[in-house]
Structure 1
Amino acid sequence: MPLPLQPPVKPMLAKSVSQLPREPGLFYEPKWDGFRCIVFRDGDEIELGSRNDRPLTRYFPELVELLGQALPARVVLDGEIVMVTDNGLDFDTLQQRLHPAASRVAKLAAETPASFVGFDLLALGDEDLTDRPFSERRRILETVLDGAFSRTHLTPITTDAEVAADWFTRFEGAGFDGVMAKAGDLPYLQDKRVMLKIKHERTADCVVAGFRWHKDGNGVGSLLLGLFDDEGNLHHVGVASSFTAKRRAELVEELAPLRVDALENHPWRSWADAAEAAKADGKMPGGVSRWTGGKDLSWEPLRPELVAEVRYEHVMAGRFRHGGRLARFRADRTPQSCTYAQLDEVAPAELADIFAEARNAKGTAR
């Protein structure tokens, strides 16, 4: 595939922020809830690449055929594979498309065909466009992606923050994640969190590295979550809990395969020993602290291969301040992609105000 950019290409990433930014020069787009996808086309050859280098081509044959008609002969573009229904976007149905059996893939492609939304252009013909500003890439993209086909779309875009705020409110009921913001002069920077995403609730993709049994002894009470630091170390950042009795029982079955040989090469293996856990002073699974009131914090290790999208309120000292809530498991993400770079770690405004008042009072007393 002799294109200016060869697969794999790592997509440009975004960092979550709590409020819609309104700086001059920003472009806003709806945030689509699907599988991120880099499309490579060179004549009759088309490859659909995912953000984790896992090819999506075999899972979406209907899109390969469709994009062969909607795109020019030699192009690389960034976008999202989505599942559009009468009730909005359906991520759960989309995730079911990742099936190993070829016969099942063909059946699902006919029954639940996916759509593609394009939002950035990386190369056209022999030219690499990644060094050009986003505003120019977008202008060219509008001439490249043929939206006349029913399941190929060019994402809406605006420079008006009020329009973006309206999208943020109105699009939520249709299954959209929120709003994206990117600077007009931004080059395409692979694997860098240089865009901004404003979601209806903060979320993070975390590694599920263990669990605790529910206090009644029946089912999973909480999932132990981890994030990688820049050195590749997996840190415990909190838990996801508050499951119904039915879901607690289902999780036992879902997690069972990951319990096999879980402690072999587990990054938290030393914490399985009660004495080592006690030294962690409550900061690691199984640790004893003054906050636990003597509760049993023993835990069951899992092979750290499962990724969970977790809703959380805010972060303090590198950990979720309160227990998180499981949104869904992400089969399209790798554990290694779950890093601290996702988190928008900002102290609550009220807390900052209290500290400022305390400093002023101390200064006056002197």
Structure 2
Amino acid sequence: MDAPAPIDPMLAKPTPTIPEGPGWHYEPKWDGFRCILFLRAGAPYLQSRDRKPLDRYFPELVAALPRVLPPDAILDGELVIMTPHGLDFDALQQRIHPAASRVARLAQETPAAFVAFDLLAEGGEFLLARPFAERRERLERMLAAARPPAHLTPATRDPAIARDWFERFEGAGFDGIIARQLDAPYQPGKRVLAKIKHLRTAECVVGGFRWNRGEEGRSVGSLLLGLYDEEGILHFVGHTSSFGASERRELVAFLAPYRSDDETVGFGRGRTPGAESRWTSGRDLSWQRLRPELVCEVTFDHMQGPRFRHAATFRRWRPDRDPRSCTFDQLAAPVPAELRAVFAAASL
């Protein structure tokens, strides 16, 4: 594995409840950076979800993982920072920094760990076509004697235990539960896993912003959020304004390098903010354009067509996400069984 070819990680789709029945496997959903770990002769290679190298940001893992894991393997997992209070995503986020000296200092102060939950290759043999049950068994054997900073995610086939984890792990920073089928192959880039989260969340591109009324140039009022469609066009889907007064002022400088006057940038081709309606008549709907390079995670309650029904709540920045990966697919949700039953009856 001299030059590892990138592998798109298998993805998850939102699911309202924990699925039950034979053939299901459950794990906690870790709140970290997704990572495909290539173990090879020399230094390991850490690949991000969007195929970018993570090695320079986690030198402590580059140094330690070859000492605790066997060579010539590929693992799928999560980079996390564990504290006495649980997972610390903010500390993890601070590691994505251009200054090598800062990265080296934080590697000592807040060392990261790698949590493995799938095995994609072992001893030069690729396992993507093998059922997950076999991959998990081989992963457990591989990590039986592993030491920190390498860890094996806990898992169960008992839905009662998964429900218990869902309730108890939230306070420790876990996102929820991942459910996967034991007989399924590894499908790169496909949303075939089920994720059951405590809140409905979405990663959105920040395509623009509006000034805080009466404080133009000094305070940001809201961020304008977008998602890409199947044709790669960015559409406005809503806004978030859940910031304190000091945060609104700090956003002015933070957003300044991304501002653009090019009308083709960002929402240039898709649905744009600012369209007047009977609900907004007379209001100032002007907005400032940003290059679509920033990604943030928001929580929301409902979708109304292709938009958030209400203002979303800002949760955090996501520097580990490729803006182009922020698509409408992540919002796909199954039709409730009651509605399916209604339409099934109507079609008889």
Instruction: Bin the TM-score by the shorter chain.
Output: over 0.9
Matching residue within 315, 326, 343 for 2:314: 326
Q: Deviations over 1:3-26 (max 9, x none)?
A: 8xx331111111112222223211
Q: Deviations over 1:291-348 (max 9, x none)?
A: 2243211111111110010101122212112111110111111110101110134678
Query: For residues 349 and 126 of structure 1, do their structure 2 counterparts lie closer, same or farther at Cα, with a shift above 3 Å needed?
Result: closer
Counterpart position of 1:277: none
* C-alpha contact 1:18 1:198 (8 A) present in aligned 2: yes
Unaligned runs of 5+ in 1: 272-282, 361-366
Q: Which has the larger radius of gyration?
A: 1
* C-alpha contact 1:314 1:345 (8 A) present in aligned 2: no
Distance 1:231 1:23 in 2: 37
Distance 2:325 2:269 in 1: 24
Q: SS of the counterpart of 2:186?
A: coil
Counterpart position of 1:152: 150
Superposed counterparts of 1:187-202, under 5 Å: 187-202=185-200
Superposed counterparts of 1:179-194, under 5 Å: 179-194=177-192
* C-alpha contact 1:207 1:305 (8 A) present in aligned 2: yes
Shift of 1:2: 4.6
Name the amino acid aligned to 2:299.
R
Counterpart position of 1:206: 204
* C-alpha contact 2:26 2:179 (8 A) present in aligned 1: yes
Superposed counterparts of 1:129-148, under 5 Å: 129-146=127-144, 148=146
Name the amino acid aligned to 2:309.
R
Q: Deviations over 1:228-286 (max 9, x none)?
A: 11110111111112322222112222111111x34264143379xxxxxxxxxxx6311
Matching residue within 303, 316, 321 for 2:304: 316
Name the amino acid aligned to 1:266.
V
Aligned-residue CA RMSD (Å): 2.3
* C-alpha contact 1:16 1:197 (8 A) present in aligned 2: yes
Query: For residues 20 and 270 of structure 1, do their structure 2 counterparts lie closer, same or farther at Cα, with a shift above 3 Å needed?
Result: closer
Counterpart position of 1:51: 49
Distance 2:334 2:36 in 1: 32
Counterpart position of 2:275: 287
Worse-matched range after superposition: 304-313 or 148-157: 148-157
TM-score by length of 1: 0.88
Superposed counterparts of 1:34-45, under 5 Å: 34-45=32-43
* C-alpha contact 2:205 2:296 (8 A) present in aligned 1: yes
Distance 2:203 2:5 in 1: 24
Counterpart position of 2:247: 247
* C-alpha contact 1:262 1:303 (8 A) present in aligned 2: no
Q: Deviations over 1:166-222 (max 9, x none)?
A: 111100110111110111111111111110111110111110000112234352221
* C-alpha contact 1:314 1:320 (8 A) present in aligned 2: yes
Matching residue within 85, 103, 107 for 1:109: 107
Counterpart position of 1:263: 262
* C-alpha contact 2:208 2:224 (8 A) present in aligned 1: yes
Report whether the alignment pairs 1:126 with 2:114. Answer: no
* C-alpha contact 1:219 1:251 (8 A) present in aligned 2: yes
Worse-matched range after superposition: 83-92 or 313-322: 313-322
Distance 1:335 1:23 in 2: 36
Distance 2:143 2:181 in 1: 22
Query: For residues 232 and 270 of structure 1, do their structure 2 counterparts lie closer, same or farther at Cα, with a shift above 3 Å needed?
Result: closer
Distance 2:144 2:63 in 1: 14
Counterpart position of 1:222: 222
